[in-house]
């Protein structure tokens, strides 16, 4: 679940304030932005349910073999 994207990396103190839940916030540099994410889910429905509970402008992102992929591709692959 991506929760924010910024041009410059955030200091740790600000990262700690992005999300107060029980999952770790991770960051990756992608397409010129630092993207901060929280949670790891095996299916889209679980990710969407989590998204509904965090109450911010977040959205589901997908990764395969450590690389970010299109969410539609990820959904289709999990249905196979």
- Residue listed under structure tokens 């992608």: 30
| Domain spans in the chain, listed from the N-terminal domain onward | 2-79
Q: Which two tokens stand for residue 56?
A: 């911010």
Q: DSSP label at 10?
A: P
Nearest Cα residue to 4 out of 68, 58, 53: 58
How confident is the model over 31-69, as pLDDT tens digits? 999 999 999 998 888 999 998 888 678 999 999 898 899
The H-or-E segment that residue 30 falls in is: strand 25-30
Other C-beta atoms closer than 10 Å to the C-beta of 19 total 20
Q: Which two tokens stand for residue 34?
A: 């630092």
The pLDDT of residue 80: 61
For the chain, give the mean pLDDT: 88
3-state secondary structure of 44: helix
The pLDDT of residue 5: 94
């Amino acid at each position: 679940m991506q929760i924010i994207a910024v041009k410059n990396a955030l200091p740790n103190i600000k990262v700690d304030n992005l999300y107060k839940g029980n999952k770790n916030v991770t960051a990756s540099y992608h397409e010129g932005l630092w993207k901060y994410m929280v949670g790891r889910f095996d299916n889209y429905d679980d990710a969407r349910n989590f998204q509904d509970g965090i109450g911010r402008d977040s959205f589901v992102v997908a990764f395969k073999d450590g690389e970010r992929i299109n969410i539609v591709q990820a959904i289709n692959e999990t249905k196979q």
